Amino acid sequence: MAGDRWEKLAAATGIAFPLLFVGAAFLIGGAGGDTVDPADVVAGRLEDNLVMLGVGTAVAALAAVALLWFSGSLRTALRVAEGGQGRLSAVAFGAGVIGAAMILVGALTAGSAGFELADYQGNAEGARAVYGISFVFPFFGVAISLGALLLATGLVSLRTGLFPAWLGWSGAVLGVIFLLGWWTWFIPFFGGILVLLWVIAISIVLIRMVGSPAPAG
């Protein structure tokens, strides 16, 4: 029973990840505001909101850990269902690891813009540039990695029946869309809402699966 409880908690990280990720985005984004503003204005906001920025980077780090943990739980379920060499299971897990890394890089870059460039060195132009770049990693990097995770998970699910058919199909379709359209701002932005909801749905299914036999691949 204790083992099942821990398995459910591990699977529940798929619910925690979207909440933490969105929270970090609001905190970090609110700390510096719009980067089209003059450099001294952006740097000034970063200096004034160092606490918000620091909390945002900490929340982003927690989001990265949650995504990593969720990817591990998902990989276990996929591996059992897929059987064989488990190639798609490995792809899904690797994509989750990369996504977590992109979140961490983005958070550390944003923190550097505020704590080093804006506050310590007083480099307004550098602060604005680095702060702007900090959004590239979690925005586009996570879009690519989650696209691969969704596609691999969807394919395994459709082949084995691990998850409900609608989750398998939606994962595969969203995965392809993200992998082909990650470079556009509107697909990661608007489609990201669907992806995060998909992750929550998968997490709920994984929680319910704990203690139940998984389908064989």
CA 92 – CA 13 distance, rounded (Å): 16
The predicted-structure confidence for 136-167, as pLDDT tens digits, reads as follows 888 899 999 999 999 999 999 999 999 999 99
Q: How far apart are CA 64 and CA 102, in angstroms?
A: 8
d(CA 138, CA 57): 12
Which residue range is the domain that position 85 belongs to? Answer: 2-209
| pLDDT, tens digit (0-9, with 9 covering 90-100), for 161-195 | 999 999 999 999 999 999 999 888 888 888 999 99
pLDDT beyond 70 at 196: yes
Query: In this model, does residue 1 exceed pLDDT 70?
Result: no
Q: Is residue 214 part of a domain?
A: no
Q: Using CA atoms, how far apart are residues 84 and 134, in angstroms rounded to an integer? A: 39
Domain presence at residue 104 = yes
CA 217, CA 215: separation in Å to the nearest integer? Answer: 7
The answer to whether position 84 is within a domain reads yes
Each residue's pLDDT tens digit, 72-99: 999 999 999 999 999 999 999 999 999 9
Nearest C-alpha neighbor of 79 from the set 182, 214, 170, 188:
214
Cβ atoms within 10 A of the Cβ of 164, count?
13
Type of residue numbered 188: P
Q: How many domains does the chain have?
A: 1
Amino acid at 59: V
**Taking a C-beta distance cutoff of 8 angstroms, is the pair 202, 16 a contact?**
no
